[in-house]
Amino acid sequence: MKNLITALIFFGLLIPSINFAQDLGGLGELDDGGDLEMEITGKVVDVTMDSLKVKPEGQWRPQVGDPVRIVIGSGVVREVTEDGILVDLKNGGAEVNMVARIRSPNAELGKSLAKIETPTAPAASPVIPAPPPASPKQTIPAPPKWASLSADETYNMGAKYYQGKKVAQDYGKALEWFQHAVDKGHIGALNDIGVMHELGQGVAKNPTTAVDWYRKAVAKNYALGHYNLGRAYETGNGIVKDYSEALKSFRRAARMGEKNAQKKLRSRRQSW
């Protein structure tokens, strides 16, 4: 890349320094004759055999027709435009990318002849609203295992956990499976949930709640429900003790073939 070379260009028309010192705010300097010259610095942007073009950096411009004295030659300002100052060369030469320093007694603010170049902030890009965040993918959970099983299959799973057959014994899981079996209409699960509340298996012991579940089984005319309700009446566990009601429950269960109820009635020499 070419080194930047400074070319000094001097305009020959001079005017009294006092007036220009006031107009230009002291931005010029006196030559040997006591006149004020204004310095303009710019970049040489175009060179031909008989002219050069300088793009000024400051706000000040010479006037068309100003004579020019250059260190390596001389010339006359031919044209002043927004894009630069065109100088006709009489002799000498210059190179593109040189830095030219022009001294003119007639320099003035360019107004309509030249555009004042001041740093401007780059135009702001239009603000495009960000798209709303994508909704996270909703993973549809797989249906629980019991959902696809029949009432009997669901009950049998509860029985496995209750007895610990081929799985670790877990009363909590057994109770959960029994409840799902009840939801599917399994009557025996009503009685078994009552037993677990009576014994405190997988749930806090509560004989009263147990009696409620036995009554639900009895409402479905389940033999073991009748028998267990009879036991509750016989012992007063979770309900007021009533031997007469106990016998009624035992007889109903015995008539349905419940062997424990039949055995109990025989031991008391009671028929059913």
What is the DSSP track for 248-259? HHHHHHHHTT-H
Q: How many domains, in total, are found in the chain? A: 2
Q: CA 224, CA 232: separation in Å to the nearest integer?
A: 12
Q: Alpha helices, DSSP H only, in the chain?
A: 17-23, 151-163, 171-183, 188-199, 207-219, 223-235, 243-255, 259-267
pLDDT above 90 for 266: yes
Pair (186, 245) in one structural domain: yes
**Where is pLDDT greater, at 159 or 62?**
159
pLDDT at 111: 44
Mean of all residue pLDDT scores within the chain: 77
127 falls within a domain? no
Pair (105, 22) in one structural domain: yes
Q: What string of H, E and C letters represents the secondary structure of 91-110? A: ECCCCCCCEEEEEECCCEEC
**In this structure, what CATH number is given to the domain that contains residue 85?**
2.40.10.170
DSSP helix/strand/coil, 236: coil
**Where is pLDDT greater, at 203 or 50?**
203
pLDDT at 162: 96
Pair (19, 85) in one structural domain: yes
DSSP helix/strand/coil, 62: coil
**Where is pLDDT greater, at 129 or 95?**
129
Q: CA 241, CA 238: separation in Å to the nearest integer?
A: 9
Whether the pTM exceeds 0.85: the reply is no
pLDDT above 50 for 226: yes
Q: CA 37, CA 33: separation in Å to the nearest integer?
A: 11
What would the pLDDT profile of 12-70 be if each residue is shown by its tens digit?
333 333 333 333 344 445 455 545 556 677 777 777 777 777 777 766 677 776 666 55
pLDDT above 90 for 159: yes
**In this structure, what CATH number is given to the domain that contains residue 193?**
1.25.40.10
pLDDT at 118: 40
The answer to whether the beta carbons of residues 150 and 180 sit under 8 Å apart is no
